[in-house]
Amino acid sequence: MTGQPSDLLKFIDDSPTPFHVVANTEALLSTAGFVQLKERDSWKTTVVAGGKYYYHRNRSTIVAFTIGNKFQPGNEFKVVGAHTDSPVLKVKPVSKRSANGYLQVGVECYGGGLWHTWFDRDLTLAGCVIVQEEDGRYSRRLVNLKKALLRIPNLCIHLQTQDERLAFKYNKEVHLQPILSQLEAGLNKENENAKHSSALLSLLAENLSVPVDKILDLELTLADTQSGTTWGLKNEFLSSPRLDNQVHCYTGLSALLAHSANIEEDTGVSMLVCFDHEEIGSASAQGAESPVMAEAIERVLGTFDPCQELLKRTIRNSFLVSADVAHAIHPNYPEKHEKQHQPGLNKGTVIKTNQNQRYATNAETGFLIRELARRADAPIQEFVVRNDCPCGSTIGPIISSKVGIRTVDLGIPSLSMHSIRETMGCDDVVTNIKLFTTFFQQFGALDKNCDF
């Protein structure tokens, strides 16, 4: 990985769903010499100092870590946490539908998307499919159809009333259902008991090279077919789907891979955890509210020493960087930002603070990351939401309250968060990687020099 914006855009283009994020991350880790673990197996004889490992849960959450050669039980875990999911439209369990001569696909809104940005876009399908293999066993296959297959058309202006023209309104259940094809007389005859249209199933079967009757279940997402791109007079910006929050899956991974090349002097465990389901509250078996984070620390430490007292000491010595995109000031809506906290694109990573604990940053954790940023020569900005505006949240408060680990919330600033296409500054990607790499390399020594 080069750590450059072009590399980020390719990573995102290749990752239309959390399943693809995890698969592509695993491929990069494997190439770098990381060894795959399985949660169902014992790690007792596998995990050792100087090792590099990864494992997944549900193939939509991934944990990757290195263990420094000088690691001793009780030493620090340095964790970057991000999430693999984004607001999207997902295919319903029974998706077959038609109206007025059109074959459509029933979809469900996932997360809090700016759904009006999904109208009039060339959309495709991606996700996973459960199939029965020739030997009778069952497997989960990834699919990314890539080609433009679906569209949610706007209503033309001439059929709208004056009031409708003034404010674009839509019903999520009625108006977000995409067109897949046109019905033809005598064709497209459907099995009334089928959950999905035969046309959709045939398309998937062809892509997977399996008979239609071997497709047993599916979890599919609509995705934009337009690739990410850099733009601006000096190509200083980049726009892409799913920057929230694949950008930090990428920057965290880039930093971990860079750090993994030399861990001979490392005294701690450097870890990247990318969770699913952040956009819907994190309450799932693979979300940040699950035991994933606590179990990762406990199981790795347990291969060296299972003592509960040592586990508690380890957690107090450890640190989580909760990385999720931040709000850059909008040139057309500057009044939405607090006057002293107006992050800009290409001006550095944003530290997020909220005294009502919507973000987990405090004086100690904020100082530590600011000092690491100074050492990395990585610019830092500050964000506090206005008192008269609601504040979003992240995995930070969830994990810090459940695990007890010190946590800072930060992120690369962006425009159009939760749109089908979001925007960031190219320089911020590079400096964010520098910050995370320095975090992995220097946090342990810095923390030992602090008496808080």
Show the CA angle centred on residue 291, arms to residues 442 and 363, nearest 5°: 40
The C-alpha angle 356, 362, 368, rounded to 5 degrees, equals 155
Q: How far apart are CA 79 and CA 85, in angstroms?
A: 19
pLDDT value at position 194?
A: 87
Residue 262: the pLDDT is 96
**Phi, psi angles (nearest 5°) of residue 9:** -65, -35
Helix (H), strand (E) at residue 7: helix 5-13
Buried-exposed string 358-383: b where 16+ CB fall within 10 A, e elsewhere: bbbbeeebbebbebbbeebebbbbbb
Which residues does residue 224 pair with via DSSP β-bridges, in sequence order? 123
8 A C-beta contact, residue 231 and residue 238? yes
What string of DSSP letters covers 193-206? T-SS-HHHHHHHHH
Cα 345 from Cα 327, distance rounded (Å): 10
Query: Looking at residue 354, what DSSP letter applies?
Result: -
Task: For residue 114, give the DSSP letter.
Answer: -
Residue 423 gets which letter from DSSP? Answer: E
* Residues 14, 1: Cα–Cα separation, whole Å: 14
pLDDT along the chain (452 residues), means of 10: 90 98 98 98 96 98 98 98 98 96 97 98 98 96 98 96 91 97 70 86 97 97 98 98 98 98 97 98 98 98 95 98 98 96 98 97 98 98 96 97 98 98 98 98 97 90
**In the block, residue with structure tokens 């030992």:** 448
Distance CA 299, CA 214 (A): 38
CA separation, residue 342 to residues 345, 389, 396 (Å): 10, 14, 21
Q: Which residues pair with residue 103 across a beta bridge?
A: 98, 181
Read off the tokens for 69: 């050669």
Q: C-alpha distances in angstroms, 422 versus 56, 217, 225, 370? A: 27, 31, 14, 26
Please list the residues that pair with 223 across neighbouring strands.
Answer: 124
Helices and strands (DSSP H and E) totals, the chain: 11, 20
How much helix, strand and coil, in percent to the nearest 5, is found in the chain?
Answer: 30, 25, 40
